[in-house]
Amino acid sequence: MTERADRRVQVAVIGGGIGGLTTAAFVRRAGLSVEVFEQARELREVGAGLVVAPNAARLLRRLDPPTTLDDVGVALQRGWEFRRWADGAELFSQELGEACRQRYGEHTWTLHRADLLEVLCSVLPADLVRLGRRCVGFTQDDDGATVDFADGSAVRADVVVAADGIHSMLRGYVTQVGRPRQTGVCAWRALVDVDAAPEPARRPVMTLWLGHGRHVVHYPVSSGRLVNLVAFSPVRATDVESWSAEGRVEDFAAEFAAWDPGLTALIGAAERVGRWSVLDRAPLTTWVSGRLALLGDAAHAMLPFYAQGAGQAIEDAAVLAACLADRSTDPPSALATYERLRLPRATRVQEASRGRLVHNHLPDGPEQRERDRAFAAEDPLGHNAWLYSYDAEQAAAAFLG
């Protein structure tokens, strides 16, 4: 017997990943009824590590989760270290330890994606997430919106949030979906047991190695038990866009064979590696259509070079909940305010991330030396202050009055 479409909630969230669960947590905290509909049969996060910078970490802290970032994450002490590909010479370091916490009110954390999912699930009732619900259709009218699922069930809601990821099914109901652009690079991703990693890679530091056409990032996750390793190199015709695509460790090692021995030792310690093509998507000009709003990767899929993918989804969720909680307006107007508040900031992060691809991959020579001199002149604490000092909830509260 299928579920009738006249069962209604205030907010239906499509997608049970980081963006969807964070949205549910903030919407529920705002006093609204919410349900999450996830197509998978179990909640899980593919991929490996991610970064939760102060702009997102302080928002998560306000949810007061029973499982905290302190329980499952790694608080970076020194923060970013930029190093030269050939010999590991330090180009720049960013202070993200106690001085960062004092300035921005929060640490920068590194986590496995599954650990962040655990933090979010600890806030939510288990029956709030409906599994095995693949969205296949959407309609709306003056009274509400209806989402149809592949199993024949449907749900009626005042607002539908499309948190269904980079390949969003619902995005086509909001805007025309353009074709992604090839970036010319592929990504490699691996997790290395900390006991097998060289000692420098075990430190609570995010290290970024820069070289011609390639760069590598590594940092500890899972309370320091694992080292997350992600690298970028020229794409090949066989690479596909999928976080579940497999690569070969020997091919990964060959791409970086001439690099610093400490880095090549870390790559050599990997036992399994993912490999996929990195595609770029132009910023959207609209995220909202009536009672339907895009959120997270569905709204602003971005290149990973600013480590803000999860952070921007968390900001989206906090602002969306604040707008929906405003009792002085109707749902479509609340969503229009959400778009007005969030689209410019997320677009700025998208564009900044795009610019890093060339910046990180310069060949040795005059441009590379000028970049490195600019790094050396950076303020170690104020680097990226425009990202970390921003408080999405305070911005929403100021706008809403």
- Out of 104, 173, 219, 338, the active site residue is 219
d(CA 227, CA 199): 11
User: What is the full DSSP assignment across 349-399?
Assistant: HHHHHHHHHHHHTPPTTHHHHHHHHHHHTS-TTTTTHHHHS--HHHHHHHH
The two structure tokens encoding residue 308? 């803000």
The residues near 100 (Cβ < 8 Å, ≥ 6 apart) are: 54, 79, 107, 108, 381, 388
Which segments of 212-308 are extended strands (E)?
214-221, 226-234, 246-247, 273-280, 288-289, 292-294
- What single DSSP character describes residue 108? -
Q: What are the phi and psi torsion angles at 88 (to 5°)?
A: 75, 10
Neighbour tally for 175: CB within 10 Å: 15
Q: Contact 186/235 with Cβ under 8 angstroms?
A: yes
The answer to whether residue 338 is catalytic is no
Positions marked catalytic: 219
